Amino acid sequence: MAKLLDQVLVIDVESTCWNRPPPPNQISEIIEIGLCTVDMATLRRREKRCILVSPARSHVSQFCTSLTGITPDLVEHADDLATAVDLLMNKYKSRERLFASWGDYDRGQFERNCRDYMLPYPFGPTHLNVKTLFSLALGLPEELEIDAACDRVGLPMEGDHHRGVDDAWNIANLFLLLLKRMRRIV
């Protein structure tokens, strides 16, 4: 299958979380998929989308709400993960397009949750870790979090940090900054 290079799908997920180990019989589940499509011809962010996901085996804790702003009510009537995976694969052609995220957490969380629910992994074999790329491109001795990376290059954070939709938008902006710098060199 040929890789489509017209767009890159920048993804950031938020998952159920606790400030201690999960309660009995609960697991960390994706509750939001933030998506930003990056147009590779124009080097612009095209679409900013929030895909809310209703957890099946956990509840949104107070800690999770304080961190992400996502409340139990917000995801109570959201679609399930299977519907979200189907949307990524069919509407966004996620198996044929490059998937990028800030670090490796998002890839791993998708792999775990898809395995837990016997769903197809919605992405192809290639994942771009923008966090590592950013640090390597700037010659940094360690990786930075999204807010620190934006500060480092003078980009304002847009929206709410730890909301998948806003973090994906900001990651895409950092990714585009790197691409534009690279294209000037070549």
What are the angstrom distances between the C-alpha of 136 and each of 11, 63, 101, 130, 132? Answer: 20, 33, 15, 10, 6
pLDDT tens-digit profile of 34-48?
999 999 999 999 999
- Amino acid identity for residue 10 in this structure: V
Alpha-carbon span 86 to 33, nearest angstrom:
13
The whole-number pLDDT of residue 182 equals 85
Collapsed DSSP state (helix, strand, coil) of residue 22? coil
Domain count of the chain? 1
**Position 54 pLDDT exceeds 90:** yes
Question: Do 112 and 58 contact (CB within 8 A), yes or no?
Answer: no
| Full residue range of the structural domain in which residue 77 is found | 4-185
The whole-number pLDDT of residue 185 equals 74
pLDDT tens-digit profile of 112-163?
999 999 999 999 999 999 999 999 999 999 999 999 999 999 999 999 999 9
Question: Do 85 and 13 contact (CB within 8 A), yes or no?
Answer: no
CATH of the domain at 143: 3.30.420.10
**Position 2 pLDDT exceeds 70:** no
**Position 184 pLDDT exceeds 90:** no
Sheet with 97-101, side-by-side order of all strands: 44-52, 30-39, 4-15, 97-101, 127-129
Global pTM?
A: 0.96
Tokens 């069919």 identify what position? Answer: 90
